[in-house]
Amino acid sequence: MNPLLLTLREITHRWMSSSLIVLVVMTITATLGYFSVNSSGYKKEITRNTRDIGSNVVILPASVDQFQYHSNGGISDQTMSENVVQQLIQYKASLNHLIPMLERMGECSVNDRQVIARIVGISASIPMPGRPKSPMQKMLNGGKVQLGSLLAEELSISREESVSVLINGRSFLVDRVNRSNGTWQDSSVFLDLAEAQSLFGMRGQVSRIEAIECTSEKCEEFGVQSEVVLMNELAAITDQAAILRRDRMAIARVSIRKISQDNLQLMQNVLWSLLAMAMIGLSALNSIQRTAEVGILQALGFGPGKILCVFLLRSILLAVVGVFLGIVLGCGTAFVQAQDLFTATGKKLRFDWNSATMISVVAIMLSVIASSIPALIASRRDPASVMGKEY
């Protein structure tokens, strides 16, 4: 009889045990698929949240007195060339999300209300080549400004109101009033960097460049200080700038990401081990319990090759059905839940076909190996001794 036809008949005849194997394979792959999608979404969410903590590196003009800079609330009248940004990019410094800014104190007025406020010209964040990520700072609309919540309150501007504000005598439409975040930004006004440079007659100049360092994890691994690496890099690039590293913020970012990644890796390893043992155990037990059937097949003239082929075909067919159902159930459920579970990145999550393929291949291989080894051993035994032994 054809091995494939015999396999199909055997599956339909033993539909309960076949269904059990499909159910186990489906459960295993569904669990792994669910964890894979969830861990991918979790990593993206952690990355986004740690990014939103803020920049942990500030590049200032070399002439800035950092004591005075901090005393004045993180603002200075010194500037440097905007070309420093391009120099950092050309050198491929260990930074990402470069945000050049120009800051000055200026007069903001609406009708008869006047306030001296912090005017911040800001550019969209510039990714370093080879490190593309979603923008940390988007470009502001030309001719429009964004007001901090406290500044809007001081100028008697409501969030829903459409109004123009004069900044050093030049009119700008208020694009929006930002929500309070408890920092100096609440009392500031933001506009496009190029317009701020034109407003203050300082074309091509910036007050500082904010960025996120990309060296902390590697530096920790090799036992060197990230700040030293960045300072050496900047010294090789330009003599116009100096590094200001926000140590606690940088350490917090690294710690959060490292702990999260280590825990996810541990959970993944444990899950793979437990589920692999469950699959191997069930498949092997099923093959061992059918040792008497191997003797019958031998008595009917089936050689070791055909017997092994029957077992392999059965394992492959059942594993493929279980894997397909498991991937659809596990990954599909996790993917749908991720849209609401991960508020910052869930809607941008994409299905990871690589993980799904790897889980499918490993599950099928484990099932085949676990079934074939006992069958191969039994097929080489004497038919009389196999059929005469009760299991």
- Give the separation between CA 280 and CA 285, rounded to whole angstroms: 8
Residue 74: pLDDT band with limits 50, 70, 90: confident
Give 380's pLDDT tier (boundaries 50, 70, 90): low
- The string of pLDDT tens digits covering residues 138-177 is 888 888 999 999 999 999 888 877 889 999 889 999 998 9
Residue type (1 letter), 10: E
Q: What is the overall mean pLDDT for the chain?
A: 78
Instruction: Provide the pLDDT for residue 361.
Output: 83
SS3 content of the chain, % helix, strand, coil (to 5): 60, 15, 25
In b/e form, how buried is each residue of 230-255, taking b as 16+ CB within 10 angstroms? beebbeebbebbbbbbbeebbeebbe
User: How sure is the predictor about 10, in pLDDT bands with cuts at 50, 70 and 90?
Assistant: low
Check whether 31 has a pLDDT greater than 80.
yes
pLDDT at 207 over 70: yes
117 phi and psi angles, rounded to 5 deg:
-135, 170
**pLDDT tops 50 at residue 391:** no
Is residue 192 within 8 A of residue 139, CB to CB? The reply is yes
Pairing mode, if any, of strands 57-61 and 208-213? antiparallel
Joined together, the tokens standing for residue 81 give 């060339």
Tens digits of per-residue pLDDT, 167-194? 988 999 999 899 888 888 899 999 999 9
Q: And the tokens for 8? A: 């199909």
Report the pLDDT value the prediction gives residue 146, as an integer from 0 to 100.
Answer: 92
